[in-house]
Structure 1
Amino acid sequence: MGLILILLGVIAFIVIATSKFKLHPFLTLILASFITAFAYGLPTNDIAKIITGGFGGILGYIGLVIVLGTIIGTILEKSGAAITMADVVIKLFGQRFPTLTMSMIGYLVSIPVFCDSGFVILNSLKQSMANRMKVSQVSMSVALATGLYATHTFVPPTPGPIAAAGNLGLESQLGLVIAVGVFVAAIAAFAGMLWANRFANEEPDGEGAEELKLSQQDFDELKKVYGELPSPIKAFSPIFVPIIFICLGSVANFPSKPLGEESLFNMLVFLGQPVNALMIGLLLSLFLLKSNEKIKEFSERIGHGLVVCAPILLITGAGGAFGAVLKATEIGVFLGNGLSGLGVGIFMPFIVAATLKSTQGSSTVALVATSALVAPLLGDIGLASEMGRVLTVMAIGAGAMTVSHANDSFFWVVTEFSHMSVKQAYRAQTMATLIQGITAMITVYLLSLFLL
């Protein structure tokens, strides 16, 4: 019982430190690592070695992937490629199903671009479409936000799912994580879109809502802000070519060796390694650079990307350190045996992630901390297989979107840019993320019945 009380105390420390005292998650997780190590009586001479080993170990596997993915996302964001992606989806789906079109735009854009940035980039487009299609701004805002949120929490190369996959030993199987994540994210996005339709006749009631009606920016005007937009091939290739290579690499590595074991196999295995695939994506993103001084522009984009990913790298490393300390204790076997008896199984990662998300606000922190926490328990609760680990990432992702409210920066981005009151945003956006999380977790559970 004492082992569980210590663990609950450490989790409470993480929640209170990050939510109430606003301590940075990096420092919180490092402190939690030391507290856990001393509380469980690990040898004092080994504590620093375990923490630094865990910190460096996870970044050695996944750090470059996070950096490259973030830089590619930055270039896509600044070049107007996200607007091109949106334009393609509008042409494909037309104006018959406005919320579905908006959700699909968010779903695609948030694979390489953070959901917060994606909403800001696409806000003018969303306003223009709502005006042009005679649809409620609230409905379109929720459809966009939930589409963005779905791939943000489930589909690499978004840093949160990548870090979770790395903590669970899936750094060489990101293709499988992507394949399952794309499916689960689609179900979650669809659930969010259905909820958004409930607000089809409700307009924003927050500050600036009246001015919003008078200042709709036309989609053509929005395009002009970015100058000449990249072609669809240039816009989509930096992110989807690496994803295709990663997935093909995973297929080539199947035990049955469906693509043989000769030159094609060797080439696909090489190209399918996440770092190699994203390097190709980075090279393809060079075609999106617009200025005459492309080297200078490229350096600026890299600099901006590094600034964005630096805190994520630190949090990810700290999560690895925390996980390494937990693995060195006896809590894994003890808690695993207890949970096995309760039959919680795949729901345990969801519950932990949802608790962390709802209390401290950050989906990325919830993904990293929960994956580090549950990694030592997987063998004892029957999730140690490759597919078990993949579904664990999905369960954590479902929890990491449950729920977005006042302590989450994305909640305020959606609320302020949509001119909703806080009360309206809780009814529309917060409830949408609750429905998304529960729907995604049910999907994961059903998948576990067939795949485990």
Structure 2
Amino acid sequence: MPLFIVAAGIVLLLILITGFKLNTFVSLIIVAFIVALALGMPLENVVSSIEGGLGGTLGHIALIFGLGAMLGRLIADAGGAQRIAMTLINKFGEKRIQWAVVVASFIVGIALFFEVGLVLLIPIVFSIAKELRISILYLGIPMAAALLATHSFLPPHPGPTVIAGEYGADLGVVLLYGIMIAIPTVIIAGPLFTKVAKKIAPDAFNKTGNIDSLGEQKTFKLEQTPGFGISVLTAMFPVLLMAISTIVDLVQNSVGFEDNTIIEIIRLVGNPSSAMLLSLLLAFYTMGIARKIPIKQVMDSCASSIAAIGMMLLIIGGGGAFKQVLIDGGVGDYVAELFKETSMSPLLFAWLVAAILRISLGSATVAAISTAGLVVPMLAQYDVNLALVTLATGAGSSICSHVNDAGFWMIKEYFGLSMKETFSTWTILSTITSVVGLGFILLFDASFIIAGIAIVLISVVAIYFSTITPIKDKRKALGA
């Protein structure tokens, strides 16, 4: 009965969002109330459960998410993201242009949220494709793969950040594992999949695309932008701080030396909230003061970034409210009891639940947060790496982007694709990111190493045998 109520609640959520076109946040709150009542929660506890879920979720993520949005916007508005992309493209050269786009998109994707990174990088991809007379999709697929992987696996993006907080996972460990998993996943879902996509949807690679809806883009002459090194440092600074703290903790646990003042300072600086604040202060200088940009203009960029993510914060809070109702209503305990005698790994379970919710609801973030309500009670029964469960949930929430996902329509419209072509490229790309990401996550889990190797090998072999046709000339190699 509890699972039936949850399923009915998800269907109702889908109807409210897609059928009645209600705001996602409002729909989540309505469904949270209805599901709470249907589960038989005491009436006096319904509101407190919803408020607790909303506040608890935002209390953990709001600081990181808000500071991260400001950091990304400062790098974009100062031209740092453009400098990173153009420098890498010039260094890699025409023959390796895809790899330049992958590396640039990955670095930019760490600092910028998916939609922002997409809007920022697409004009650059279009201009490079036009200059080299190659297909925009030839560069667009690697770009989208890198942005999706960073969005799914790496803090400070909302999904992994929120999930880590719900599961009690160390955010620094999530970041380190996430980078190691995201890099090979991007290679397979990006440059390698591009060769397969050209065979599945060859006409899509002849489309010219249309970015008129983006309006006039803010562009810079290269000499007007910050230096490449300082731009990369500013974008990667929170990653470096969190990584150093995590590595020190891992060494301490292995060697066993006692805490001291230096260790405590490193731990404070490497805390995600502290790391984001210090990175923002660095960006104030490198992207603003050092370039003689008035502080008011810097603050305007910060203000506009928060205005842009205001609704996203509410949606995340609504997802947290729905998650808390599932926990307080006993659904999580019911699921834990249901799977008590099963041998299914929490990694596979978290991925499966997130995948089902993602396909149903469209929003990767809402799917990931809602999954926590079903998975958290189950974790007490298993000795499992919480960072890997976090990443498995993120992987599941990236699967099969289709018509109920805003990203699907952005890719379709910007690249001028038909519905069939969008399914054949973007939807498959998101599914590859999810499945291959799961494969590498299982590789990190010793008990499932064989399953992980099998998934990865099957993916690589399938791609290899679909790309053995020799490339006859340079023009064809570049996707013309």
Superposition TM-score, scaled by structure 2 size: 0.83
1:5-404 residue pairs with structure 2 within 5 A? 5-133=4-132, 135-170=134-169, 173-193=170-190, 194-199=192-197, 202=202, 204=204, 224=220, 228-254=224-250, 255-256=253-254, 260-286=258-284, 287-289=286-288, 294-345=294-345, 346-380=347-381, 382=382, 385=384, 387=385, 389-404=386-401
Contact 1:50–1:325 under 8 Å retained in 2: yes
The alpha-carbon distance between structure 1 residues 298 and 374, as it changes in their structure 2 partners (threshold 3 A), is same
CA distance in 1, matches of 2:179, 2:412: 27
Gaps of 5+ in 2: 450-480
Asked if 1:426 corresponds to 2:423, the answer is: yes
Deviation at 1:23, TM superposition (A): 2.6
Deviation at 1:296, TM superposition (A): 1.2
Contact 2:110–2:236 under 8 Å retained in 1: no
CA distance in 2, matches of 1:13, 1:162: 27
Q: Secondary structure of the equivalent of 1:402?
A: coil
Partner amino acid for 2:377? P
The alpha-carbon distance between structure 1 residues 406 and 132, as it changes in their structure 2 partners (threshold 3 A), is same
CA distance in 1, matches of 2:166, 2:344: 21
Deviation at 1:308, TM superposition (A): 2.1
Deviation at 1:419, TM superposition (A): 2.3
Once the two structures are overlaid, the 10-residue window that deviates more, 2-11 or 139-148, is 2-11
The alpha-carbon distance between structure 1 residues 320 and 259, as it changes in their structure 2 partners (threshold 3 A), is farther
The alpha-carbon distance between structure 1 residues 405 and 332, as it changes in their structure 2 partners (threshold 3 A), is closer
CA distance in 1, matches of 2:222, 2:17: 37
CA distance in 2, matches of 1:117, 1:206: 26
Contact 2:32–2:321 under 8 Å retained in 1: yes
Deviation at 1:324, TM superposition (A): 2.5
Partner amino acid for 2:335? L
Q: Secondary structure of the equivalent of 2:339?
A: helix
CA distance in 2, matches of 1:444, 1:238: 29
CA distance in 2, matches of 1:312, 1:25: 9
Deviation at 1:88, TM superposition (A): 3.8
CA distance in 1, matches of 2:92, 2:39: 56
CA distance in 2, matches of 1:451, 1:93: 37
1:236-270 residue CA offsets vs partner (Å, 9 max, x unmatched):
22332221111222233343466752222021011
Task: Give 2:456's aligned residue.
Answer: none
Partner amino acid for 2:404? N
Deviation at 1:152, TM superposition (A): 1.1
Partner amino acid for 1:263? T
CA distance in 1, matches of 2:263, 2:310: 35
Contact 1:179–1:247 under 8 Å retained in 2: yes
Contact 1:19–1:360 under 8 Å retained in 2: no
CA distance in 2, matches of 1:148, 1:32: 31
Identity of paired residues, percent? 26
Partner amino acid for 2:112? V
Partner amino acid for 2:264? N
Deviation at 1:225, TM superposition (A): 5.7
CA distance in 2, matches of 1:222, 1:74: 12
Once the two structures are overlaid, the 10-residue window that deviates more, 266-275 or 135-144, is 135-144
Deviation at 1:66, TM superposition (A): 0.9
CA distance in 2, matches of 1:258, 1:85: 40
The alpha-carbon distance between structure 1 residues 396 and 22, as it changes in their structure 2 partners (threshold 3 A), is farther
Contact 1:251–1:258 under 8 Å retained in 2: no
Contact 1:139–1:198 under 8 Å retained in 2: no
Deviation at 1:203, TM superposition (A): 5.6
How many matched pairs? Answer: 437
Q: Secondary structure of the equivalent of 1:4?
A: helix
CA distance in 1, matches of 2:334, 2:438: 25
Superposition TM-score, scaled by structure 1 size: 0.88
CA distance in 2, matches of 1:313, 1:307: 10
Q: Secondary structure of the equivalent of 1:41?
A: coil
Q: Secondary structure of the equivalent of 1:253?
A: helix
CA distance in 1, matches of 2:108, 2:257: 31
CA distance in 2, matches of 1:248, 1:21: 48
Partner amino acid for 2:306? L
Gaps of 5+ in 1: 216-220
The alpha-carbon distance between structure 1 residues 339 and 133, as it changes in their structure 2 partners (threshold 3 A), is farther
Contact 1:17–1:28 under 8 Å retained in 2: yes
Task: Give 2:407's aligned residue.
Answer: 410
The alpha-carbon distance between structure 1 residues 223 and 167, as it changes in their structure 2 partners (threshold 3 A), is same
Partner amino acid for 2:369? V
Deviation at 1:103, TM superposition (A): 2.1
Once the two structures are overlaid, the 10-residue window that deviates more, 225-234 or 270-279, is 225-234
Once the two structures are overlaid, the 10-residue window that deviates more, 47-56 or 71-80, is 47-56
CA distance in 1, matches of 2:57, 2:5: 25
Q: Secondary structure of the equivalent of 2:259?
A: coil
Contact 2:153–2:182 under 8 Å retained in 1: yes
1:308-336 residue CA offsets vs partner (Å, 9 max, x unmatched):
22222222222322232222233223211
CA distance in 1, matches of 2:109, 2:413: 19
CA distance in 2, matches of 1:129, 1:200: 19
